[in-house]
A and B are shown apart, each in its own frame.
Chain A
Amino acid sequence: MSYRVLIVDDSPAMRTFIRRVMESSGFELASCYEAGNGEEALALLCTEWVDVILTDINMPVVDGEEFLRRLSREDLLRSVPVVVISTDATKHRAERMFALGARGYVTKPFRPEDLRAELERTLEAPHD
């Protein structure tokens, strides 16, 4: 199965890396969209449907927390699974992101297989 993916990160290098490791680890991408912050992501989601969103937390304009809050207010978008990818390895941060609706959490640095495993777990998990 192939997926439509949105990567949200203010670092172009990190967006490239995430896309590359997804492809190299055998994750089939039907489409891969990129956004530099939550605001750009929300604008893109007005016109493009995706199967999963991978987002950083610490971004300018609209950060990852606010992005999740806004997603949760959108009837059509709140069902899209979100995996957070962050340098913040603290438990309280992960818990807060899950409370805001994230379904997965990957801490940087990560190995390609870690990202793939979390994506598969997130996409296969039942949800509302």
Chain B
Amino acid sequence: MTEAELRRVLEDSIMETLDAMFFTACFGAPEAEGAPPAEMAAEVAFEGRPPGRLTLRMAAAAARSLAANFLGEEEDALSERQVGDVLCELANMVCGFVVSRVEAGEFRLGAPRILETGGPRGGIVLAVETGAGVLEAALEMEDPICPP
């Protein structure tokens, strides 16, 4: 699978997940260049052929807005832990969507986790403007291959 194809799958994954389960639209690439403030980041590692990891980064206020949509709560009513849980679940769904379409065989997702730092920005990096703010995804895979 080419990098352009992987990037397209990653973009589709983000758009479909936000639309279906966060009731939030995506508006393509953000107008401003550069990474969003890395106030929150979540990572999911996966095992398979090939292994890799996906990292999502976004500003804390944007993550809180998405969490409120997902849980059907007011933003102010949410704890930091709830916001983190939702960002982890978003990373889990985006990662699962991508690897289901990229992996050559069976795969296993690790438990999503919040990163203390902003996380890596290696591999394929994609930033999208959402109704809540900028979301940046980084997909790192070892030698991506096509399914048979």
- A interface with B by C-beta (< 8 Å): 10-14, 16-17, 20, 24, 58, 60, 86-90, 92-93, 107-111
Q: Which residue of chain B has its CB nearest to the CB of A96? A: B106
- B77 partner residues in chain A, CB cutoff 8 A: none
Considering the chains assembled together, what is the distance between the CA atoms of A16 and B20 in angstroms?
16
Task: Known contacts A88-B100, A109-B93; decide if A11 and B106 are in contact (CB<8 Å).
Answer: no
B106 touches A89 (CB 8 A): no
Closest B residue to A114 by CB, please name it. Answer: B20
Quick one: closest B residue to A86, CB to CB?
A: B96
Instruction: Check B108–A58 contact: CB distance below 8 A.
Output: yes
- B97 to A109, Cβ gap below 8 A? yes
Measured in the bound complex, the distance between the Cα atoms of B96 and A58 in whole Å is 11
* Bitwise interface map of B from 19 to 36 toward A, beta carbon under 8 Å scored 1, else 0: 111000000000000000
Give the residue of B67, B85, B101 whose beta carbon is less than 8 angstroms from that of A11.
B85
Q: Which residues of A contact B101 (CB under 8 A)?
A: 89
